[in-house]
Amino acid sequence: MGQNCAAGPVAINSSITRDDNIRENQMKQLLMATAAMVIGATSAFAETKIGMITTLSGGGAGLGIDVRDGFMLAIGQSGRDDIDVVIEDDQQKPDIAVQLADKMVQSERVDILTGIIWSNLAMAVIPGVTAQGKFYLSPNAGPSALAGQGCHPNYFNVAWQNDNLHEAAGAYATSAGYSNSFILAPNYPAGQDALTGFKRTFEGGLAGEIYTQLGQTDYAAEIAQIRASGADSVFFFLPGGMGISFLKQYADSGVDLPVVGPAFSFDQGILQAVGDAALGVVNTSQWNKDIDNPTNAAFVESFQAEYGRLPSLYASQGFDTANLILSALDKAEVSDADAFREALRAADFDSTRGDFKFGPNQHPIQTIYAREVIKEGDVFTNKIIGVALENHGDVYAVDCKM
């Protein structure tokens, strides 16, 4: 107590002088900022500002970093210096993503937003952004709510509608002759969409269907159920670390039923962490590094040269998103929203996936491949083994009225 009383007056005195200093500093900063704005205003006149909100910290950062790196690679290769990309980390939290979007729209005055990885964040941000007249191009998340009745003329999805890769997995499992599949996914909207998507195209029966907890890391109980179920195959959607855990434990359990899944548990970023446990697993993806076209070959090579690692499907989606924006900017200014929208809709760019076109709800119509996990030297990667679904759109497009 005594110490505090003695320190009191001193603290007040010093804070007065400090306040003066701060005020002086603030004045200087204000003057400098004003000067900078005057100078900046002339050069920034014709600039296009793109806001990227993506996940750069926490457990899901690998995905956001890949999208960002793919996107920035394309911007860098375009050689254009009139494009300003503002990148912010959403920490995989919807509330932070919303704050960042508000900041970007209101104070940064961006023209186009992009970058969000997760569907729950996308749902929180995209409707608000498009309602304010901004463009949003999704490099990853494709929730069904935004593909059907909730579609919007300013919202484009460059990756896929969420159900797509699961529908492809169901189609592949059918064509592979599986007739009794055990299916599992986390108990959250994208997980429910996944099982729905799989069941939509899978013609066999189900030996079991379970929802796991989101973020679950131990799958011993589920693997025991798979063993006891008499299934002839397993389909799972467990993105990120959940998939790594499942595959390692599955490989160690002695259950040797064939596994099918979407690319999300087999992307370049996490395959090395799964190791041998993933070898031979078939997964479905709209992109792979061996899709044979010059754009893709150049992309894989330049990505590796720039960042020292192989690109993932997320990186390809970021790269395609940036190239789509660049192709539209060549035709129209963002300020002319109608012309710019038409230019985006035309999708007149060289995609890493080969031909690229949008459906009526501005989601891709594309071919989805079946890939197999292989080992190239020391590196685990994927190889295309066939087409799962050709020129596939999504079932929600009919509900979209634009």
Q: Which residues bind other proteins (CB under 8 A)?
A: 56-59, 61-62, 65, 187, 192, 209-213, 215, 217-218, 220-222, 224-225, 227-228, 240-242, 244-245, 248-249, 252-254, 269-270, 272-276
- Alpha-carbon distance of 353 to 251, in angstroms, equals 32
The token pair at 120 is 């729950």
Minimum gap (Å) between residue 231 Cβ and other proteins: 14
- Find all residues with CB under 8 Å of 391, minimum gap 6, and list them: 365, 366, 367
- Alpha-carbon distance of 12 to 15, in angstroms, equals 5
For β-strands 233-236 and 83-89, DSSP reports them as unpaired
Residue among 70 and 359 whose Cβ is closer to other proteins:
70
Residue among 22 and 379 whose Cβ is closer to other proteins:
379
Q: Is 59 in contact with 241 (CB distance < 8 Å)?
A: yes
CA 126 and chain centroid, separation: 14
- Alpha-carbon distance of 325 to 347, in angstroms, equals 9
Minimum gap (Å) between residue 101 Cβ and other proteins: 23
- Find all residues with CB under 8 Å of 109, minimum gap 6, and list them: 49
Residue among 196 and 367 whose Cβ is closer to other proteins:
196
Residue among 204 and 275 whose Cβ is closer to other proteins:
275
Minimum gap (Å) between residue 224 Cβ and other proteins: 5
Minimum gap (Å) between residue 252 Cβ and other proteins: 5
Minimum gap (Å) between residue 93 Cβ and other proteins: 12
Number of neighbouring beta carbons within 10 Å of residue 281: 22
Distances (CA, A) of 244 to 196, 218, 259, 318: 23, 10, 13, 23
Minimum gap (Å) between residue 214 Cβ and other proteins: 9
Residue among 175 and 192 whose Cβ is closer to other proteins:
192
Residue among 227 and 345 whose Cβ is closer to other proteins:
227
